[in-house]
Amino acid sequence: MSGVISVRPKDLPFDESVVGHLGCSGCGAFVAVRLALKILGDQTMLAIPACCVLATTCFYPQVPLKVPTLMTAFPATAATASGIAAGLRHLGKKKEITVVGLAGDGGTADIGIQALSGALDRGDQILYICYDNEAYMNTGVQRSGATPKGARTTTTPGGQRGMWESSPKKDLLSIVAAHGIPYAATSCISFPQDFMQKLAKAAQVEDGPSFIHVLAPCPPGWGYASEKTIELGKLAVEAGVFILREWENGEMKVTRKLRKRKPLAEYLKPQARFRHLTDEEIKAMEEEIARAWETIS
């Protein structure tokens, strides 16, 4: 990438690079895609696997993406992006073009993690963006490795056995950072400045892969009214549930420290997926969050 990219909102291009997608109203994932393409610009190529973003942008003959895009198989995002990068390198065109893999949390933390690990390990120069709506939304809200503990999904329906999601959210950022890549960060669409700044940094990496994990709330999947997307993303961060961090020069740091965490209930209560939680359970979760913060800071 050439020069320093300004991330002042007033400097962002007015033109949109994704126009006329079929996503739900209030979709957090598309906020991420729109902002990302404004930062990345038109010298960008995308690899997108099966996920909500693909299902709502891929249909012939009305494709809404204005950058060259290769749709690929669900597990294959990173390897496909690596192939694009290798092809461009062979043709002497890689320097000018940012090759981006864009996948959901399932396509990243679960089925695509092998290909992702391979690409990170090889040090391929790709930028990988995982938009995280915390479940397999495209197929109707099944749990993924990124689904938080306690959440209801269609495969963790509670029922008589109380079979809610039972394991904590996978720590993708640490998994990625453990590959020793130059740059990785978490962000959230409700903090556009943070997201775009980190993206700009990630796009400027010239000596290997970079990775952005962005929380992107989903109205039908989480069970809230569509106008609350930004608000819930904010609450996820401010209640300390989703931590904004950055991995750079071999060091992990928290980029948004919280002087005081918002009560967890404020974040959980508006969401149908957490409606079954008792006050005691919420309290226990809050204690877990406190412990997590202690270990990282």
Residues that bind ligand TPP (CB under 6 A): 29, 50-52, 74-75, 103-107, 133, 135-139, 144
Stretch 28-47 residues interacting with ligand SF4 (CB under 6 A)? 29
- For residue 150, give every residue at least 6 positions away whose Cβ sits within 8 Å of its Cβ, in sequence order, or none: 164, 165, 274, 277, 281, 285
Helix (H) or strand (E) holding 262: none
105 binds, among another protein, ligand TPP, ligand SF4, none (CB under 5 to 8 A by kind): ligand TPP
Residue 201: HSE in the Cβ half-sphere, 13 Å Cα cutoff: 18
**Total interface residues for ligand SF4 by CB under 6 A:** 12
Does 219 contact ligand SF4 by CB under 6 A? yes
Does position 108 interact with ligand SF4 (CB under 6 A)? The reply is: no
Residue 240 binding result from ligand TPP, another protein, ligand SF4, none, given CB thresholds of 5 to 8 Å by partner type: none
| Contact status: 56 vs ligand SF4 (CB under 6 A) | yes
Residue 24: which of ligand SF4, another protein, ligand TPP, none does it interact with, CB under 5 to 8 A by kind? ligand SF4
In this complex, which beta carbon is closest to ligand TPP, that of residue 214 or of residue 264? 214
Answer positive or negative: Cα dihedral of 175, 179, 180, 184.
negative
Output 150 or 221, the one with its CB closest to ligand SF4.
221
**C-alpha distances in Å from residue 27, one per residue of 62, 110, 173, 202, 229:** 20, 22, 23, 24, 7
CA distance 102 to 57: 13
Q: Decide if residue 122 touches another protein (CB under 8 A).
A: yes
Q: Which of residues 74 and 247 has its CB atom nearest to ligand TPP in the complex?
A: 74
Least distance in angstroms from the C-beta of 8 to another protein: 25
Site for ligand SF4 in 179-218 (CB under 6 A): 218
Q: Contact, 256 vs 296, CB < 8 A?
A: no
Please say whether the beta carbons of 176 and 120 come within 8 A: yes
Applying CB under 6 A, which of residues 17, 133, 186, 197 lies at the interface with ligand SF4?
Answer: 133
Q: Which does 151 bind (CB under 5 to 8 A by kind): ligand TPP, another protein, ligand SF4, none?
A: none
Q: Which of 195, 214, 212 is nearest to 28 (CA)?
A: 214
Question: In terms of Cα–Cα distance, which of 129, 106, 112 is closest to 213?
Answer: 129
Residue type, 35: L
Give Cα 225 to chain centroid, integer Å.
Answer: 21
Q: How far is the CB of 218 from ligand SF4 (least distance, A)?
A: 3
Binding of residue 259 to another protein (CB under 8 A): no
How many residues are recorded in the chain? 297
Residue 107, binding choice from ligand TPP, another protein, ligand SF4, none, Cβ under 5 to 8 Å by partner class: ligand TPP
| Closest by Cα among 89, 22, 114 to 59 | 22
> At residue 107, what is the residue type?
G
Pick the binder of ligand SF4 from 5, 17, 18, 23 (CB under 6 A).
Answer: 23
The distance in angstroms from the start CA to the end CA of the chain is 33
How many CA atoms does the CB half-sphere of 121 hold within 13 Å? 8
| Shortest reach from residue 200's CB to another protein, in Å | 18
Residues found near another protein in the complex (CB under 8 A): 42-45, 47, 54-55, 57-61, 63, 65-73, 75-76, 78-91, 93, 96-97, 114-115, 117-118, 121-122, 124
